[in-house]
Chain A
Amino acid sequence: MKSSTLILNTAALAIVPLQLMFSIFLLLRGHDEPGGGFIGGLVAASAFVLYAFSFGAESTRKLLRVTPRDILAAGLLFALASTLPALWSGQPMLTAHWWELPLPGESYLKLSTVLIFDIGVYLTVLGTLMTFVIGLMEAEE
Chain B
Amino acid sequence: MMLLAVLSGFLLAFAVPALHRLAGQHIGWLLALLPASLTVYFASLIPSISRGETLLIEYQWMPGLGITLDFMVDGLSLVFALLISGIGTFILIYAGSYLKGHKDLGRFYIIMLSFMASMLGLVLSDNLIAFFVFWELTSITSYMLIGFNHEDEEARKCALQGLFVTAGGGLVLMAGLILLGFMTGSYSFTEILASDLQLQEHAFYTAATVCILIGAFTKSAQVPFHFWLPNAMAAPTPVSAYLHSATMVKAGVYLLARLNPSMGGDALWSGSLMLFGAATMLTGAYLAFSSTGIKKVLAYSTVMALGTLTMLIGVGTELAITAFICFLLAHSLYKGALFMLAGALDHETGTKDITKMGGLRQSMPLTAAITCLAALSLAGLPPLFGFVAKELMLESLLKAPLWSTGLLVMAVASAILVVAVAGLVAIKPFFGEVRRTPKQPHEAPFGMLVGPAVLSLLALIFGVVPFVPASIVLDAAISSVYGGSVQTALALWHGINIPLMLSGTSLLIGSLLFYKWQRLQPNLYAINSVGSRIGPEAGYFRFMLGITQVANWQTRLLQNGVLGIYLLILVLVTFGLAGYTLFIKEGFHLDFDFSDGYFYEFGIALLLIASTIFACATRSRLGSVASVGVLGFGVALIFIHFSAPDLGITQLLVETLTVILLVLVLFKLPPFVNLSSPWERYRDLAVAVFAGIVMTLLILAVLDIQYFESISSYYVENSAGLAFGKNIVNVILVDFRQLDTLGEIFVLALAAVGVYSMLKLKAEDQNKS
Contact = CB atoms under 8 A, between A and B. Distances in A.
Contacts of A96: 723, 735, 738
A2 interface: no
A79 B742 contact: yes
Given A136-B664, A136-B665, A131 B756 contact: yes
Nearest to A120: B745
B668 A117 contact: no
B567 interface: no
B725 A32 contact: yes
A24 interface: no
A18 to B, nearest CB: 15
Nearest to A117: B734
A124 B748 contact: yes
Contact of A42 (B645, B650, B665): B650
A114 B722 CA distance: 12
A75 B657 CA distance: 20
Contacts of A132: 661, 752, 755
Interface string B728-769: 011101110011011001101101110110011011000000
B646 A135 contact: no
A49 B657 contact: yes
B755 A135 contact: yes
B756 A135 contact: yes
B714 interface: no
A133 interface: yes
Contacts of B656: 46
Interface residues of B, number: 42
A140 B653 contact: no
A128 interface: yes
Contacts of B650: 38-39, 42
A46 B727 contact: no
A93 B753 CA distance: 27
Given A31-B730, A79-B745, A98 B724 contact: yes
A68 B751 CA distance: 13
Interface residues on A, range: 35 or more
Contact of B734 (A69, A72, A80, A121): A121
A16 to B, nearest CB: 15
A136 B748 CA distance: 17
Contacts of A73: 749
Nearest to B656: A46
A137 B668 CA distance: 10
B45 interface: no
B726 interface: yes
B727 A127 contact: no
A1 interface: yes
A81 to B, nearest CB: 12
Contacts of A98: 724
A113 to B, nearest CB: 9
A53 B759 CA distance: 19
Interface in A93-140: 93-94, 96, 98, 110, 112, 114, 117-118, 120-121, 124-125, 127-129, 131-133, 135-140
B667 interface: yes
Contacts of B726: 31-33
A39 B727 CA distance: 13
B724 A110 contact: yes
B677 to A, nearest CB: 32
A96 B755 CA distance: 33
A72 B727 contact: no
B668 A140 contact: yes
A69 B727 contact: no
Most chain-A CB neighbours within 10 Å: which of B650, B667, B727? B727
Interface in A39-96: 39, 42-43, 45-46, 49, 53, 68-69, 72-73, 75-76, 79-80, 83, 93-94, 96
B667 A34 contact: no
A80 B745 CA distance: 11
Nearest to B720: A32
Nearest to B664: A136
B649 interface: yes
B653 A128 contact: no
A34 B649 contact: yes
B759 A136 contact: yes
B654 interface: yes
Nearest to A136: B664
Contacts of A30: 727, 730, 734
14 contacts: A30-B734, A31-B725, A32-B725, A34-B649, A35-B730, A36-B729, A36-B734, A53-B660, A110-B724, A114-B738, A117-B742, A128-B751, A136-B665, A139-B763
Given A30-B727, A31-B730, A121-B745, 4 more contacts: A35-B649, A36-B733, A37-B734, A140-B664
